[in-house]
Amino acid sequence: MTDKQERLLNFILDFHKEYGYSPSIREMAQGMGVSSPSTIKAMLDRLEAKGMLTKSSGRARSLTAVKHEEDKGIPIIGRIVAGVPVMAEENIEGYIPVKEFLRNSNGGFFLIVDGYSMQDKGILPGDYVFIQPCKEISNGQIGAFRLNGEVTLKTFKRSEDGIFLLPANNDFQPIPVTNDDSFEVIGRYVMLLRFREQGYHF
């Protein structure tokens, strides 16, 4: 998306937010400082082709601008403890622009690791772990789990003795999941991002 296309998209978003409907081509031209309505129409056609705009056929002022969150990068959502579970912070703390490495993130997100319980798997405090949302996870996979309202990163184990969330550090104990617990699989661990002074490292 070019700078002019992004300006036009933002103009449409702001106009709709203020007035509750989309601007006309003439209003877009005025707002963009463009003299030719055909220039605006060509930009609209390109934005629509890129999936950044949708419009209803036969309806005036029916443009809907789509501001894809993934354009900013992959969101960072709070912290996840690799130790004992901790209440997740459900705010987006920022974005990491790594779409070139994750062509199809499918709603995935990064969590920041806090704790040493997964260190033997190479996962350390301050690392960013990419979590792919899912409802089920295979035995032996590392994932993000919500247990009794708290979130942790562990290896999933199901056996005849029940379900356990396993650490990768002998200083920590496995966490059993009982029938009395509220338990949910948030997603599976896909990759790790570690920042260095020179940039980030996978």
Provide the terminal-to-terminal Cα distance of the chain, rounded to the nearest Å. Answer: 27
Active-site residue, selected from the candidate residues 36, 57, 67, 154: 154
Q: Three-state DSSP class for 82?
A: coil
Annotated catalytic residue 159? no
At a CB cut-off of 8 Å and minimum separation 6, what does 110 contact? 74, 75, 76, 77, 96, 128, 129, 130, 131, 193
Nearest to 199 by CA among 108, 107, 101: 101
Token pair 């707002």 in the structure block, residue: 31
Active-site residue, selected from the candidate residues 117, 121, 157, 159: 117
Annotated catalytic residue 182? no
Residues taking part in catalysis: 117, 154
